[in-house]
Amino acid sequence: MLTKTKVSDTLYLFIKSFGGNGCASLRIINLLRRYVNKIIALIPLECESAATMLALGANEIHMGAMAYLTAVDTSLTHRLSPVDKNNASVSVNQDELGRVIKLWNEEKQTGEGNPYQALFPYVHPLVIGAVDRASSLSIKLCKEILSYHMTNEQEAEQISNKLNSDYPSHTYPITFHEAKRIGLQAKPMDPKIDELLLKLSGLYSEMGQKAQTDFDEFNYHDNEILNIIEGSDIQFYYQVDKDWHYRIEERRWVALNDNSSWRRMEIVNGQLEEGIHHIR
């Protein structure tokens, strides 16, 4: 899609996402910057976690009336993470661990030992180490993404630290006024553009609605669309196509017959072409 586009001055990037992979955000910004000189992020609704990282790569962030960013503090699901009642791994958050240790140090009595002795039976030491490392990665990613348009390293570090550690919840909504206060180039979105993007979001929501078929209480098929990337005359989307089976003895869901893939739709010479798009 980008290889067919000449280097232009400005790219308007519509972002609506509950998050994902922070490293992918850096790779996307690095790719876009090869083809455009200025990026303007259009945020009409939620732009959470890794999507907030993606927005950091924009020169300007235009936010609608219902738009919000979030903190990007790292939570990690490790192979050695604790499990919930369904035997699924639970994500562990660096801020939560830090708060437990802080409370322990504030409330401990003389001779009570250290907080890690109490934590280790519930959270494996390797998980604690992995979360700490992931938190450092999150700060590094934010600084690197900001560096594509921000020359003041001290300001970039300040914004990165705020987004990683200054909020009480990972889903805390950072609205327009808060975004400006922490140093982001946030601007109010034109109401007409905001209205059009909300309508477009409604179309995407219809395309990406859940499409699950229950066979019985232990088996169902998932056929929903999770990701949509669209440009002029071309669209990519990731469609799940797999069965899920609940193993009673293991107390967990396992995937079967997984045919999920990226799909591509493109108008070529006035004709619609579609098929599987292979990504390795």
Residues 184 and 243 in one domain: no
pLDDT tens for the chain, 280 residues long, are: 555 555 568 889 999 988 888 888 899 899 888 888 899 999 999 999 889 999 999 999 999 999 999 988 666 566 666 766 666 767 666 666 767 777 777 766 555 667 777 777 777 777 777 666 666 778 888 889 999 898 888 888 888 888 887 777 777 899 999 999 988 999 999 999 999 999 999 988 888 888 899 999 999 999 999 888 887 788 899 999 999 999 888 788 889 999 999 999 988 888 888 888 887 6
Report the number of distinct structural domains present in the chain. 3
Q: What is the reported pTM?
A: 0.73
Residues 55 and 145 in one domain: yes
- Work out the burial of residue 56: count CB atoms within 10 Å of its CB; fewer than 13 is exposed, 13-18 middle, 19 or more buried: buried
Helix axes 125-146, 153-165, angle to 10 degrees: 140
Q: What is the pLDDT of residue 241?
A: 93
Domain containing 106 equals 75-127
Among the listed residues 48, 53, 34, 40, the one whose alpha carbon sits nearest the alpha carbon of residue 14? 40
Residues 102 and 140 in one domain: no
Q: What is the pLDDT of residue 190?
A: 93
Supply the CATH number for residue 45's domain. Answer: 3.90.226.10
Q: Quick one: how far is CA 105 from the chain centroid?
A: 33
Among the listed residues 179, 165, 161, 155, the one whose alpha carbon sits nearest the alpha carbon of residue 47? 179
Residues 271 and 252 in one domain: yes
Residues 170 and 267 in one domain: no
> Do residues 73 and 135 make contact, with C-beta atoms less than 8 angstroms apart?
yes
Q: What is the pLDDT of residue 242?
A: 95
What CA–CA distance (Å, rounded) separates 145 from 30? 8
